[in-house]
Chain A
Amino acid sequence: MRIHRAPWFWAWVAAFAAFLATWSISAGGGGGAALAVAALTFASFSVLTGLGQMLVITMGPGNVDLSIPATMTLAGTLSLKLMGEMTGPVWAIMLAGLVSALAVGACAGVVNFALIRLLRIPPIIATLSASFLYQSLAIWSNRGLRIKPPAALAEFATGRAILGIPNLALVALVISIGFWVALNRSGFGRRLSAIGQNPRAARLAGVPVARIMGTTYVTCAKMAALTGFLLACFSGGAALNMGAEFLLMSIAVTVIGGSSIAGGDSNVPGIWAGALFMYLIVSMLNSYGLGAGVRLLSTGVIIIAIVAVASGRKAQA
């Protein structure tokens, strides 16, 4: 396998280039490690939402989950509220928080899929309208007040236990490996790709389309919920607008990473490249002192360039 043919190759090149460009102007040269730590930390959130979104997008045209921000907010809000009210051993509180966040995610996923499957609403409309429901629930449940996470959880989320690597990055890495195995080495992954390539052929070949789709939407919502939980612990509490940037981010990292927006073809390493790139490009443009307008413009142009280069490669292959 020639590595420059890999769908994620150009995204990684771009991420490294952005890193080096930012590092080269860092004061005293010691900024490289700090920049890498910051990039890994914040990319972890994008990776976790991106992995879920990637699975959904793999199912083919029209499949996208727009409820990710609202699910994040709802899961973060409810789980932190629960942990704030609990008393008892710290491990029990932390476990309850995590489990409740994942349960919120699972419920959101089931609702999303029920709207799509039972009411036959297109996924874009279904997940968008469901997101109003989740966001309203989050507002109603806590009126936007930030409840601090338990100290041990906050320490974990902001800590660097092994080799100075952020704990969050390790969590995201372990989950990514799980996703890679599921996509490339399991029946689930092959069926998912089959649906994305041709849902009719997949159904005729005996793929349980409804079950796979249901699992995918629930998984995506659970990933959003987990991200919301971790982000709330990381930043000292859940905020009502905490998920806002992850709607476009989760789609962007999927596409930049080389997964096909038409479905049926996805890859996990690209998600990391896309997430690191999206963080580093903003850091780079900030560090060079460009204003918000130029920054947004250059980000857009660079993303188009990467996608164009990557798809040009695909057309030749």
Chain B
Amino acid sequence: MTRKGLLLTAALGLALGMPALADTAEKKIALSNNYAGNSWRQAMLESWARVTEKAVADGVVASADAFTTAENQATEQAAQIQNMILQGYDAIVLNAASPTALNGAVKEACDAGITVVSFDGIVTEPCAWRVKVDFVKMGRDEVEYLATRLPEGGNLLEIRGLAGVSVDDEIHQGIEEGVKAHPNFKIVGSVNGDWAQDVAQKAVAGILPSLPEIAGVVTQGGDGYGAAQAFAAAGRPTPVIIMGNRQDELKWWAEQRDANGYETVSTSIAPGVSTLAFWVAQQILDGQEVPKDLTVPFLSVTQETLDQALKDTPEGGVTNVDYSQDDAKKVIAESK
């Protein structure tokens, strides 16, 4: 039955999918991006370029241009969206500087008949689609993992992201929920690492002298290697540090594993989520029924997949995956 069901779905997908090529061939999609100043965002833009170039060459869409604002300001991005409306794009894929401050511009775009798909940095305006990440679950999963590794519990150090950003609050909330569910863990210290190795290292080095023995470090990605360096510099035993898919984190993890059997887990969002949002926009333009809220799967690296992930991740980059049209259809189907 299940197999039959799958086949049916596939056939349905094909039947619906084939005319899609014709329907969106004239459509123009724009990427409105608020920030490009770190390796994650660079990988995100590269994924976009790689996937959309092929999509344009294959005649799926007419064009898919990427625009990035210089200053990571909501006002600047609102102006950029207004320009896109005037330029006559059919869809805008949006990584927003603010969840609320762009709502006015987004509404204008919707009123002009433009499909707006926000991802990563999502907007709350109801007319837009949201390809979002369950960051609360990400935080909860970190503690769940530590609970399997350290059944007797222990002290945790939490490295948070950039203060005032919603992602930071959501991951933090998940971690707190996790600690509530596993009361043998206790968060004894919390610092802001701003998702950057050097900032995290600096902050951890400053708080370590005042902390008792640490069993685990819960992180938000981009800060694990810096934390490891700070523990090493202070001459303290290395706790279980949750990693965030950066190449230097994975490399350090592999080195530790080879030296002393170190075990941990690494989770983050693939920068290629921009391409998932692209395909979602394409599906909407194609006339498919797409729910307004879609959830992106995490990209996790485990002890078993570490070597492969390390091989696939560019030196100094982030573990990435480019999504395909089928991935988008699957995510859409799961959200219905």
Contacts and interface: CB of A to CB of B under 8 A. Distances in A.
Interface string A26-66: 11001110110111011000000000000000000000000
B210 A236 contact: no
Contact of A146 (B36, B230, B247): B247
Contacts of B267: none
B100 interface: no
Given A139-B36, A143-B46, A145-B317, A231 B207 contact: no
Contact of B199 (A35, A145, A245, A295): A245
A22 B42 contact: no
Contacts of A244: 37, 194, 196
A273 B155 CA distance: 33
A38 B230 CA distance: 9
A158 B233 contact: yes
Contacts of B191: 286
A42 B205 contact: yes
Contacts, number: 131
A239 B193 CA distance: 14
Contacts of B315: 145-147
Contacts of B235: 34
Contacts of B284: none
Contacts of B317: 144-146
A41 B205 contact: yes
Contact of A287 (B41, B70, B189, B248): B189
A236 B209 contact: no
B38 A292 contact: no
A296 interface: yes
A145 B39 contact: yes
B206 A240 contact: no
Given A145-B314, A293-B163, A286 B207 contact: yes
Contacts of A30: 209
Using C-beta atoms within 8 Å of the partner chain, give the interface range for chain A: 35 or more
Contact of A292 (B46, B70, B192): B192
Contacts of A234: 198
Interface in B178-214: 189-192, 194, 196-199, 201-203, 205-212
Contacts of A287: 189, 206-207, 209-211
Nearest to B251: A148
A14 to B, nearest CB: 16
Given A287-B189, A296-B163, A147 B210 contact: no
B112 interface: no
Contacts of B203: 282, 286
Contact of A38 (B46, B70, B205, B211): B205
Using C-beta atoms within 8 Å of the partner chain, give the interface range for chain B: 35 or more
Nearest to A282: B206
Interface string A122-144: 00000000001001000100011
B199 A26 contact: no
A25 B210 contact: yes
Contact of A286 (B46, B190, B234): B190
Given A26-B209, A287-B207, A239 B229 contact: no
Given A245-B199, A286-B190, A237 B316 contact: yes
A291 B169 CA distance: 12
Given A34-B209, A39-B206, A143-B46, A289 B189 contact: yes
Contacts of A291: 190
Contact of B212 (A27, A135, A158, A235): A27
Contact of A237 (B38, B41, B248): B248
28 contacts: A22-B209, A23-B209, A26-B210, A32-B209, A34-B208, A34-B209, A35-B206, A38-B205, A38-B209, A42-B206, A139-B42, A143-B39, A144-B43, A145-B39, A145-B314, A146-B247, A158-B233, A236-B248, A237-B316, A239-B197, A282-B203, A286-B190, A286-B191, A287-B189, A287-B207, A289-B189, A289-B190, A292-B164
Given A26-B210, A139-B37, A145-B316, 4 more contacts: A22-B210, A25-B210, A38-B230, A146-B248
Interface of A: 22-23, 25-27, 30-32, 34-35, 37-39, 41-42, 132, 135, 139, 143-148, 158, 231, 234-237, 239-242, 244-245, 279-280, 282-283, 286-287, 289, 291-293, 295-296
The 5 closest A-B pairs by CB, nearest first: A31-B209, A283-B206, A146-B316, A292-B163, A145-B316
